[in-house]
A = this chain, B = another copy of it.
Amino acid sequence: MGRRKVEIKRIEDNSSRQATFSKRRSGLMKKAKQLSILCDVDVAVLVFSSRGRFFEFSSTNSLTGVIHRYTNHMKAEDKVSAEVDDTEESKYASFMTMEELLQTVEKQLKEPDVDDLSITDLVHLENQVETALTQTRFRKTHLLIESIKNLREKEKLLIEENKLLEDEICTINNTEENEMTMNLNNIAPTRMDCGQQKEALNFL
């Protein structure tokens, strides 16, 4: 598209590669923008130069939004293949996909005719397994954090309960001392007084 035709292969001359990069990059972005406007679709273009510089076009405001749509799209596609036998009502339903995945992996590893496994298939399988792994990790962390929340709640209730009981004992002791001048100290010889008790619970 210029003074002469260029073969599509890596431009070895450093500066003209850089010049071409600059021009064609902006051309690509322009085309992407036109496509998104003319056809009313969302388009994103990501370019990473060899020196780590990054260029982007996105028809929506945030590229992360586009990327979320991408990941959701992939998830949805994965689900389609798992939807066939997904009639179980139990809490393990979400792990059926993983079960299937593991079976697939095992089968592929044990299959004698390994040659008919295309690289594309394996990349796809890898992505599926990775997604399942991520979901499992997420679930694990969620359960652990929920457990901690529950325990903290219990702790709070127990501490309140404890305080009430202590107060009650104090009340009883005071009432006894004030209303009937009797020596009842040996009834509960192992108990500390209320102040000491509070201090002893501070480490919790």
Contact = CB atoms under 8 A, between A and B. Distances in A.
Interface residues of A, number: 87
Interface string A27-67: 11001111101111111111111111010100001111011
A112 interface: yes
A175 interface: yes
A79 interface: no
Interface string A143-163: 011011001101101110110
Nearest to A77: B54
Given A39-B11, A151-B152, A158-B159, A73 B44 contact: no
A101 B161 CA distance: 50
A83 interface: no
A20 interface: yes
Q: Is the interface of A mostly helix, strand, loop or mixed?
A: helix
A47 B38 contact: no
B52 A38 contact: no
Contact of A187 (B17, B123, B171): B171
Interface in A84-142: 106, 109-112, 114, 119, 123, 127, 137, 140-141
Interface of A: 6, 8-11, 17-18, 20-21, 24-25, 27-28, 31-35, 37-52, 54, 56, 61-64, 66-67, 69-71, 73-74, 106, 109-112, 114, 119, 123, 127, 137, 140-141, 144-145, 147-148, 151-152, 154-155, 157-159, 161-162, 165-166, 168-169, 171-172, 175, 180, 182, 184, 187-188, 191, 201, 204
